[in-house]
Amino acid sequence: MSFNSIVMVKQVPDTANISGQVMKEDGTVNRAKLPAIFNHEDRASLELALQIKDRFGGKVTVITMGPPRASDILRECLYMGADEAYLISDRKFAGADTLATSYVLSEAIKFIGNYDFIFAGRQAIDGDTAQVGPQTAEKLRIPQVTYVEEIIDVSETSVKLKRKIDGGFEILESQLPCLVTVLKDALFPRPFKARRVMAYKNAKTLLELEKITEGNSLLYIDQLKDEYFNKGWYIHTLTMEDLKLDETRCGVHGSPTKVHKVESVVLAGGSHEMIPPSKEGLSKLIDHLMEDHILG
Amino acid sequence: MANYFTENSDILFHFERLNLKEIVDFLEDDYSQSSSYPDAPINYDDAKENYRKVLEIVGDLSANFIAPRAASIDEEGATLENGKVIYAKGTQESLDILSQAELMGMILPRKYNGLNFPTTLYMMAVEIISRAEASLMNIFGLQDIAKTLEKFATEEQKEKYLPGFSSGKYTGAMALTEPDAGSDLQAVKLSAYQDETGKWFLRGVKRFITNGNGDVLLVLARTEAGTKDARGLSMFACLSDETIKIRRIEHKLGIHGSPTCEMQFNDTPAELVGARRFGLLKYVLYLMYRARVGIGAQSLGISQQAYEEALKYAKAREQFGKSIYNLPVIANMLIDMRVTLESNRSLFYATSVWLDRKEIYEDMIERLKAEKKPTNEVNEKLKEAIKISNLLTPLTKLILSEASNKITYDSLQIHGGTGYMKEFPIERLVRDARITNIYEGTSQLQVVAAAGGVINDVLEDYFNAWERKDYKGSIIKLKETLIEIRSIFKDALKYVKEKKDSNFQDVASKDLVELYSYIYTGYLLLDEANENQNKLFTAKRYILDSLAKAKKNAESIKNELYSDILYADSILI
C-alpha cells in the first residue's frame, strides 16, 4: 500500500521583511522589491506528504504556478525529499486571481495524474485567501478537508484526519483521492538534507536550461534537457500550450477579482485610561471592550 | 532569515580564500566518485559549491533552530534518571534536526553514508554550531570518534559503527580520563582482559567522560597487566550495553547540555582497535589532536557570540545621553575583541588546513604503498605537515581558548551590572568559555606540547619566505614590525637556550610560545591585508599590540622574572 501525493507550493514575498516600495499603485505587490520565500504552510504540507511517503511509500510530486524564479522553491522541495517537480509558468498566467490559478493548477494536476492526495498549505501569506486549495478540489471533483493538523490513518481507499475548528478539533474520514490543506503550526518541516542539496543544487527548469543555451550555439536545448532529465536534475516545465488551456480562463483575463483600493492602516496607540481594580471598574472595562467589538 | 554562515562576513572571507584543492582532489579520487554518488562533486569548484550549500544549512539551523534553544538547554541541562542520561529537550531536538539534515557524518566517506568533507569544512560547521549553543558542539563534535575508527579500525568494525554515526542513530564518547589519570593519561588503569576464546572485556572506572552515555565508546584500557606506562595501553571500541553503569553526571559551571559522566565498566565486551599497546601512543594522540582543533572551533564560536552580544548591547545602551558604543573606552574594547576574534580565526583555519594536509598525506602514502608505487615525495610532505601541525594544533588551542575567556569577560564587562544577571546570555557564554582552556589538555599542557616546535623554530623557513615577500603600501611598515618581533623572539630564545636550565625553560615556554604565535598570526594577517583592504585595521592593531606584548614577554625572560621559583616555599606562605 503506497500513496502518491501532489503538493501545491507557492513562492511568496517575505512579508516579515517588508521595506521600501512594495505596493504598486494598482494595489498589487511589486514582487521584485521583496525577497521571495517558500510559503510556510506549503512547506508544512510538503512535510505531511513526505511523512506519508516515509510511512507507506509512494511518490511526492510538487507543483507551483509562478514566474521563472519560482524554481527556487522547487529546488528546496527536492532538498527536503520531493521526488519530482513541476513549474507551471507562462506570461499569460500573470495577474491571476484564485479562480484562474485554481483552473491552471487543476489542469496541471490532471496532466500529471496518478495521485491519492493533493496537499496544499491552508493559505499563502501574500493573499491570505485560503481559496486556491478548495477551488482546485472543486475543479477536480474530489473531496477536500481544510485546516488539517494531522493524518491519523490511511487505508487503501480512505483517510482519517484531524482538522482544526473553532475551539477544538474534529476527526473526519474522507475517500481517496482527496485534497488536504494544512496548517503551518501542525508540523515542523524537515530541514534540507545535505546530500540531497548537493545532488539537486543543479536542478533546472526548461527556462533555466534555455538561458544556458542562449549564449552557446553548440548546445542544443533538447540534448541538454535529456542530459538533465537523465541525471534527475530536470524540473518539468509546463506552459499554457503544454496544458492546452483556455486562454480566456487564464491570468488576468480569467480573473474576475479586481483590487478596488489598498489602504495602509497604521495601528497606533491613542490615549489611555486608568481603570480601578473594583467591580465598577471591571464592568466599565467590559462595556468599553464591547463598544469596540473586542468582546461580544 | 538569520544565518550564522552567510551573514558572518569573516567566516565567508575565510571560506572564499580556502585553497583545499590538493586535499579535495584526493578525497574525491579525482572526482571519480561522482559517477557513483549523485551528491559527489564533479570538480573542485563544484565541491566548493557543495560545501557552501551545506554550510548554509548549518548556518540556518544554528541561527534559527539551535540558538533559540540555548538558554533553555543551559537551564535544564542533561540529567541522570534511573541510571539513564536524558539530554535537555533542546539538545535532543537539535541533534534530531542535525541528523535529519544529514550533518552527523560530515567527515566520513560516502561508503558509510558520510559527506566526505575535508576536516576544515567540518571545523567551520563546529564553529558555527558552537556559536549557537556551545555544549551542543560537545556531542556534534564527536564525529572525530567516528573519524578515528575510520582511520584505524578493521573494515568489519567500520561497517558496524560508522553508518550509525552518519545517520545520527549513534553518538559517541571517548573514554580516556580516570580519577587518577587526567592530564597524565599514562596512568590509566581500567583493565582489558581476554577470555579463553580471545574475546576482550573491560573492567574499571572512567571519569569526566563527555557523553559517556553515547552508543559507541572508544575506551583506553590497560591490556598488559603489570605495566605502568603508555606502552601497556590499547584502544577498544564497544557498543554501550547494560554492563556499563553511569554512576553519576557532574554538575558543572557551564556547557550544561553536555553530560559529563562517571562510568563503570563491568566486564563489558569490547573490540580491540588497531594494534595492541599503541592505544595512547598512536590512536588517542590522533584523536586528541583532532579534538583540540575542535575545542579551538568551540572557543571561536563562543567568542563570536560574545562579541555580537557586546556590540548589540553597546549600541542599544544609552548613558550620559548617548549610546555607550560612542564612548571611546568602550569602542576600544570592542575593537580589541573584534581584532582578537579575526586574528584567531586566521590562525584557526591555517591550522585546520595543516591538519587536513597531514591526514591526506598519510592516506596518500597508504594508497601508494598498496599500489606499490614510490612514496618518497609524499613522505617529505607528510614529515613537514606533521612538524607544522604538531606545533599549530596546541598553539591554536591555547590561544583561542584563552581568548574566548578574555572576550566573554570583556563582553560581560561592557554589559555592566546587567551582564551579571541571568537575563542576558552573556553570563552563560562566560561560563561556557571557562572549560575551553581546561579540557582536552589545559593551557599549561598546550604550552608544553607547542614548546618543542617553538624552541626548534619549525616555522623558520616560512618566516624567512614572508620576510622576503613584497607587500603594498602601509603594510610594509607592519612587516618591519613583525621582523622586529621576530628578532625579539630570537633573542629571548637564545637567552633561554644558553641558560641550559630545564626548569627555567619550562616556565619561560609560555612567553616563547606566545611570541611565536604573534609572528605566525601576524604574517597570516599581513597576507590577508595585502589582498583585502578591510583587513588592514585588523592587521595593524594585532601587530602593534603584539609588539608591545612581545617586549613584555622578552623582558620577563631576560630579567629573570621567574628566578624566584627556587624560593617558592618561602613565598607561598
Question: For residues B532 and A156, what is the distance between their CA atoms, to the nearest angstrom?
Answer: 63
| Burial class of residue B96 in the structure, from the number of CB atoms within 10 Å of its CB (0-12 exposed, 13-18 middle, 19+ buried) | exposed
B63 and B125 belong to one structural domain? yes
Report how far apart the first and last C-alpha atoms of chain B are (Å, whole number): 58
Which backbone phi and psi does B236 adopt, to 5 degrees? -125, 155
Question: For residues A294 and B6, what is the distance between their CA atoms, to the nearest angstrom?
Answer: 44
Q: Which triple of cell numbers denotes residue A155?
A: 487505508
pLDDT at residue B397 is higher than 70: yes
Tell me which of B254, B277, B300 is where a domain ends. Answer: B277
Question: For residues A14 and A33, what is the distance between their CA atoms, to the nearest angstrom?
Answer: 10
C-alpha distances out from residue A60 to A54, A148, A171, A173, A202, Å: 10, 18, 25, 22, 20
B369 and B395 belong to one structural domain? yes
Contact B102 A194 (CB under 8 A): yes
The pLDDT value recorded for residue B189 is 95
Contact A197 B57 (CB under 8 A): yes
| Alpha-carbon gap: B39 to the closest alpha carbon of chain A (Å) | 4
Rg (C-alpha) for chain A, rounded Å, is 22
Using pLDDT thresholds of 50, 70 and 90, give the confidence band for residue B482. very high
C-alpha distances out from residue B498 to A159, B413, B492, B554, Å: 86, 43, 10, 15
pLDDT at residue A30 is higher than 80: no
pLDDT at residue A31 is higher than 70: no
Higher per-residue confidence, B444 vs A263 = B444
B300 and B362 belong to one structural domain? yes
Which backbone phi and psi does A52 adopt, to 5 degrees? -65, -40
B283 and B414 belong to one structural domain? yes
Chain A interface disruption, residue of B3, B5, B39, most A CBs within 10 A: B39
| Alpha-carbon gap: A79 to the closest alpha carbon of chain B (Å) | 10
Question: For residues B377 and B441, what is the distance between their CA atoms, to the nearest angstrom?
Answer: 34
Average predicted confidence (pLDDT) for chain A = 90
Q: Give chain B's domain count.
A: 4
B207 and B242 belong to one structural domain? yes
From B39, B97, B103, residue closest to A199, measured CB to CB: B39
pLDDT at residue B273 is higher than 90: yes
A47 touches A188 (CB < 8 A): yes
CATH of the domain at B532: 1.20.120.470
Q: What is the share, in percent, of chain B residues with pLDDT greater than 90?
A: 97
B96 and B183 belong to one structural domain? no
| Alpha-carbon gap: B54 to the closest alpha carbon of chain A (Å) | 6
Contact A190 B100 (CB under 8 A): yes
B118 and B64 belong to one structural domain? yes
Q: What is the DSSP string of B96-164?
A: HHHHHTT-TTTTS-GGGT-----HHHHHHHHHHHHHH-HHHHHHHTTHHHHHHHHHHS-HHHHHHHHHH
CATH of the domain at B232: 2.40.110.10
Tell me which of B154, B170, B186 is where a domain ends. Answer: B170
From B54, B97, B100, residue closest to A197, measured CB to CB: B54
From A37, A198, A231, residue closest to B54, measured CB to CB: A198
Number of A/B CB contacts below 8 angstroms equals 46
B143 and B40 belong to one structural domain? yes
CATH of the domain at B34: 1.10.540.10
Question: What domains lie within chain A, and their CATH numbers?
Answer: 5-249 (3.40.50.620)
- The model's pLDDT over A105-154, given as tens digits with 9 standing for 90+, comes to 999 999 999 999 999 998 888 778 888 889 999 999 999 999 999 999 99
Angle between helices B443-455 and B376-415 (to 10 degrees): 140
Residues 106-135 of A with CB under 8 A from B: none
- Taking the CA atoms of residue B248, residue B250, residue B255 and residue B260 in that order, the dihedral angle to the nearest 10 degrees is -40
From the list A88, A91, A114, the residue with the least C-alpha distance to A236 is A88
Tell me which of B118, B153, B170 is where a domain ends. Answer: B170
* Chain B residues near any Cβ of chain A (below 8 Å): 1, 38-41, 49-50, 53-54, 57, 60-61, 65, 97, 100-103, 115
The pLDDT value recorded for residue B474 is 87
The pLDDT value recorded for residue B14 is 98
Nearest CA in chain B to A230: B38
- The model's pLDDT over B533-548, given as tens digits with 9 standing for 90+, comes to 999 999 999 999 999 9
Nearest CA in chain A to B39: A199
What ranges in A183-293 are assigned the alpha helix state H?
Answer: 194-200, 206-214, 221-230, 279-291
CATH of the domain at B377: 1.20.140.10
- The model's pLDDT over B165-200, given as tens digits with 9 standing for 90+, comes to 999 999 999 999 999 998 899 999 999 999 999 999
Would you report the helix, strand and coil content of chain B in percent, each value rounded to 5?
A: 65, 10, 25
- The model's pLDDT over B98-153, given as tens digits with 9 standing for 90+, comes to 999 999 999 999 999 999 999 999 999 999 999 999 999 999 999 999 999 999 99
Residues 177-206 of A with CB under 8 A from B: 190-199, 201
B114 and B251 belong to one structural domain? no
B55 and B23 belong to one structural domain? yes
B449 and B486 belong to one structural domain? no
Contact B39 A190 (CB under 8 A): no
B67 and B201 belong to one structural domain? no
* Alpha carbon of residue B480 to chain centroid: 31
| Alpha-carbon gap: A152 to the closest alpha carbon of chain B (Å) | 23
Q: Which domain holds residue B504?
A: 459-571
Q: What HEC string does B338-401 produce?
A: HHHHHHHHHHHHHHHHHHHHHHHHHHHHHHHHHCCCCCHHHHHHHHHHHHHHHHHHHHHHHHHH
Give ipTM to 2 decimals: 0.91
A117 touches A109 (CB < 8 A): no
| Alpha-carbon gap: A261 to the closest alpha carbon of chain B (Å) | 31
Chain A interface disruption, residue of B102, B106, B117, B121, most A CBs within 10 A: B102
Nearest CA in chain B to A190: B100
The pLDDT value recorded for residue B173 is 96
